[in-house]
Amino acid sequence: GAVVSQHPSWVICKSGTSVKIECRSLDFQATTMFWYRQFPKQSLMLMATSNEGSKATYEQGVEKDKFLINHASLTLSTLTVTSAHPEDSSFYICSARNSVMGTEAFFGQGTRLTVV
């Protein structure tokens, strides 16, 4: 099946620094990638949708200047949490899909971010 790899799996950073999370589709071209955030014991909340070569579309309430999303190629999208603060600590999950492959999206293993 289609594989999506997310890196790093976990990261600890100091408050005020920026952190970049990568999401790669390993064996297919991802025309669309999605970024989700999951708080402890809660569901996944969609943060943004990005199409290759276009600006990301952010969900209401998500700060685009704080969560920078780049989708420069058909196999890579990055999420950069800028000037991170403890309240940004969360589990971030990406997913990727190709419209030719149907409606299913394939998920990365997630990145646990802890801001201290």
- Which residues bind to another protein, rule: CB under 8 A? 6, 32, 34, 41-44, 46, 49, 93, 95, 97, 99, 102-110, 112
Q: Give the position of tokens 């998920």.
A: 107
Minimum CB distance to another protein, residue 18 (Å): 23
CB of 63 to another protein, least distance (A): 19
Among residues 43 and 116, whose Cβ is nearest to another protein?
A: 43
